Amino acid sequence: MLSDIEIARSATLSPIADIAAKLDIPADALSPYGRFKAKISAPFIRTLADRPDGKLILVTAMSPTPAGEGKTTTTIGLGDALNRIGRRTAICLREPSLGPCFGQKGGATGGGQAQVAPMDEINLHFTGDFHAITTAHNLLSAMVDNHLYWGNALRLDPRRLVWKRVMDMNDRALRQIVTSLGGNGAPAETGFDITVASEVMAIFCLAADLADLQTRLGRIIVGYNLDGDAVTCADLKADGAMTALLKDALEPNLVQTLEGNPALIHGGPFANIAHGCNSVIATRAALKLADYVVTEAGFGADLGAEKFFDIKCRKAGLKPAAAVVVATIRSLKMNGGMAKSHLGEEDLGALRRGCENLGRHVENVRGFGVPTIIAINAFSQDTDAEIAELRAFAAGLGVEIALCRHWAEGGAGAEDLARRVAEMADSGESRFAPLYPDSLGLWEKIEAVARRIYRADQVSADKAVLTRLKRWKKAGFGHLPVCMAKTQYSFSTDPERLGAPEGHTVHVREVRLSAGAGFVVAICGDILTMPGLPRHPAAERIGLTADGDIDGLF
């Protein structure tokens, strides 16, 4: 059997102008990066404003496990399948982060016959967007330190700086550092986050255009002065230069699936740290260019889908027409307590127990008023009895289920899912509404997510957290949504509590105001904003073949 990367290399890709033509994008609206990828120009995107929107379809998933769920693969397979049945469809995905590519996760461009290409380039430097975001973030960091060095006219309190540095790599050694040693200013303790956790990344993915981007960048709070007042990026006059660095990056990237269908890949905030969705600009452009747009939100529905609905859709005025919850029988059995080494064995008891996790996610998604279907990403070792058990469970939920074989068969293996999704989207039955209103208090919003999505009995926080929330409300930020940062592996804050736990406590240990992005981050449990590499990182297996091709990336 061919590997994912061998399948990708054996595919015949079309020139990117031919892919653009499928969405009626003229060649002069493209900025090509080689033969197979390009940026879509901002002037062309502005001409789309008066077109009607297509139908937005969200692909989310059960809680992730090491057994794999295949959410990105299913997103691509569904997009290919919708095109196969005659529905003009575009796919919208996030850009992969280098940290996970070289860490534990590996590449993030799908798998088997359901991939976006060119795989190596997308997984590595792509069109340089993440480098631009990293540079813009660190320019502001440098300007903060420079302001302190040259007299500190804004009276920034060095003890109350909140702006760190970032890099697009997992590096635990940089979580806490000391800067300005050797007489280069006053030494200070700070640290690094990963680029996908940067507020600049969040702003990049929520901005409507360049003007909105600069306004949002200007609102970034870098720290507080000696009187306790916020000092912003605009106060430091850094917003213009940062926008200049991001000018080209803000144009969405166009690539293709292995079946030659258009995919827009743009932006990439993490879902367990940030809001986990591709850029608003790419999604809006796709909705003007296609009749159906298939997008995904990171990790399980408790993280990615909740933030997609409560942050991205709320801020961008998007109204999803349908949702797909992806699961695999292997992951369901693992959530039911089965060891990874035995997942190839039939175990209906473990499957039943694991279905509690899937059911919780389906219930949560449907709670937003969006018609929902379960997509089972099939493996060859799935047994007839297991499939029948899963169909019976779905029937008990009153939700449709589609068995998909897109990994092996491409779009042809997801046509049943595509037909059902198209019917749901066309039905007009979506009654989408966010989980909470803007008027609800910040702490009450945190409680709403913890109780209604995570099923926590208790939500706790230190007094300092509650004091900050009250201060931010008084300063005019009380209307903002909340962005929960917690483990992706469980509904609780304990990654070992699989299934669908109830009666647990969600403790908020820290809150951060992302005034530019327009949300408040609530950090729960032991989640880290700078991940580390595993004992045996994927980087150990990556290299070049004798022909100069990249090997081991996926």
Q: Which two tokens stand for residue 388?
A: 């029948």
Any idea which residues carry the catalytic annotation?
Answer: 71, 73, 94, 105, 271, 299, 379, 407
Residue 1 has pLDDT above 60, yes or no: no
Q: Closest Cα partner for 360 from 494, 454, 457?
A: 454
Residue 8 has pLDDT above 70, yes or no: no
Q: What distance in Å separates the CA atoms of residue 493 and residue 497, rounded to the nearest whole number?
A: 8
Residue 248 has pLDDT above 70, yes or no: yes
**CB-CB contact of 507 with 263 (8 Å):** no
* Mean pLDDT, residues 64-82: 93
Q: Which two tokens stand for residue 332?
A: 């369901």
Q: Given pLDDT bands bounded at 50, 70 and 90, which one contains residue 6?
A: low
**Domains of the chain with CATH codes:** 12-120+263-427 (3.40.50.300), 130-246 (3.30.1510.10), 442-524 (3.10.410.10)
Q: Given pLDDT bands bounded at 50, 70 and 90, which one contains residue 266?
A: very high
**CB-CB contact of 319 with 56 (8 Å):** yes
Residue 251 has pLDDT above 60, yes or no: yes
Least confident range of 98-102, 192-196, 309-313, 392-396: 98-102
Handedness of CA 513, 213, 17, 85 (dihedral sign): positive
The three state secondary structure string of 81-100 is HHHHCCCCEEEEECCCCHHH
* Rounded alpha-carbon distances, angstroms, from residue 283 to 16, 29, 129, 191, 318: 19, 17, 17, 33, 9
Q: What distance in Å separates the CA atoms of residue 413 and residue 85, rounded to the nearest whole number?
A: 12
Q: What distance in Å separates the CA atoms of residue 36 and residue 48, rounded to the nearest whole number?
A: 24
Q: DSSP code of 234? A: T
Residue 554 has pLDDT above 70, yes or no: no
Q: DSSP code of 473? A: I
pLDDT of residue 5: 65
